[in-house]
């Protein structure tokens, strides 16, 4: 195979190499287990000559970077613990022990003035606290996690029709408007078509379809943010006997500004929806699976 090589600038040969751990044999360029390293012959390197080649060349082996003990399933590895020890030849390694770390000196020597004071004195390097807590107090652990905005999936863009998978409106189709600062998705039915109002949803609980609505993002009101969905703080009142027997609390009507904002947003969506035939009926229809349908085999 090597004898038939031409004098090309760079030749690539893929060799299947296997290592027999028990016999202790290992070929050049091979790695533990069954691997496929790449062998390069550089014809410009004249330092060494490879056998069978017309031109001097230098062989260079490249090792692929992937885990040796891959996962067959969630929590199930390809090799057992003893097999990994055998493949890594860990039984031949000698324990090196802990690395000695130079600890800071606990005491220090200071000079003391006075003829009768000895000239020097050994004292503690760090002063001990004058007061100690009567009980051990557990200190909070450092939290190195930082909250960040979730990355939006590539299949979700403004105007994408989504299918809700959880919550009160599960199975309903909605139109994606934008991603809020909290990472949640701002969607709307629109309300006039399928009864889904402006709401926030997690992108983990939606299916992105290939259907898209040509929306004008500039017409979406800037007031639609996380603060828009914040609930007003309820004032606490002293519990009385009369309040206990009042029964169910009266439902407070939706604020007029929110109703107006819902209508304005629906108007923008419906202008784009009405331009496409049967799109309004598609949004009003509820998603469901019939008998024999596999969700993973469907193309949304």
| The overall pTM is greater than 0.85 | no
275 touches 214 (CB < 8 A): yes
pLDDT of residue 34: 43
Of the two residues 38 and 126, the one the predictor is more confident about is 126
Least confident span in 237-246, 247-256, 269-278: 237-246
Where do the domains of the chain lie, and which CATH numbers do they carry?
A: 1-71+78-91 (no CATH), 149-230+256-287 (2.30.30.30)
Q: Taking the CB of residue 198, how many other CB atoms lie within 10 A of it?
A: 21
Torsion 253-257-263-265 (CA) sign? negative
Beta bridge partners of residue 25, listed in sequence order:
20
Q: For 25-41, what is each residue's pLDDT tens digit? A: 444 433 344 444 545 44
pLDDT of residue 163: 95
Of the two residues 11 and 295, the one the predictor is more confident about is 295
Q: For 188-247, what is each residue's pLDDT tens digit? A: 989 999 999 999 999 999 999 999 999 887 888 888 999 988 888 877 777 777 777 776
Of the two residues 118 and 65, the one the predictor is more confident about is 118
pLDDT of residue 233: 80
Indicate if the pLDDT at residue 100 is higher than 60. yes
Least confident span in 75-84, 102-111, 131-140, 239-248: 239-248
Rounded to 5 degrees, φ, ψ at 276 are -110, 130
Q: Taking the CB of residue 2, how many other CB atoms lie within 10 A of it?
A: 14
Start-to-end CA span in the chain (Å): 50
């Amino acid at each position: 195979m090597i004898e038939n090589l031409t004098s090309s600038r760079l030749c690539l040969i893929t060799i299947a190499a296997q290592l027999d751990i028990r016999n202790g044999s290992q070929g050049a360029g091979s790695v533990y287990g069954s691997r496929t390293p790449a062998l390069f012959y550089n014809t410009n390197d004249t330092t060494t000559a490879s056998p069978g080649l017309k031109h001097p060349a230098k062989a260079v082996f490249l090792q692929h970077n992937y885990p040796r003990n891959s996962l067959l399933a969630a929590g199930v590895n390809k090799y057992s613990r003893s097999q990994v020890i055998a493949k890594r030849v860990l039984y031949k390694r000698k324990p090196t022990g802990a690395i000695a770390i130079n600890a800071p000196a606990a005491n220090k020597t200071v000079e003391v003035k006075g003829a009768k004071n000895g000239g020097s004195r050994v004292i503690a390097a760090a002063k001990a606290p004058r007061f100690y807590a009567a009980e051990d107090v557990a200190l909070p652990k450092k939290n190195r996690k930082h909250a960040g905005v979730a990355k939006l999936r590539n299949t979700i863009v403004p105007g994408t029709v989504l299918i809700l998978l959880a919550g009160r409106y599960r199975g309903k189709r909605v139109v994606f408007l934008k991603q809020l600062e909290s990472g949640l998705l701002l969607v709307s039915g629109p309300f006039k078509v399928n009864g889904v109002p402006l709401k926030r949803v997690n992108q983990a609980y939606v299916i992105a379809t290939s259907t898209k609505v040509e929306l004008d993002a500039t017409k979406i009101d800037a007031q639609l943010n996380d603060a828009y969905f914040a609930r007003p703080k309820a004032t606490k009142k002293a519990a009385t006997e009369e309040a206990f027997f009042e029964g169910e609390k009266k439902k407070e009507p939706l604020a007029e500004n929110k109703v107006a904002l819902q209508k304005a947003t629906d108007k923008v969506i419906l202008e784009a929806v009405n331009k496409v035939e049967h799109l309004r009926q598609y949004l009003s229809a509820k998603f469901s699976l019939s008998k024999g349908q596999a969700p993973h085999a469907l193309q949304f």
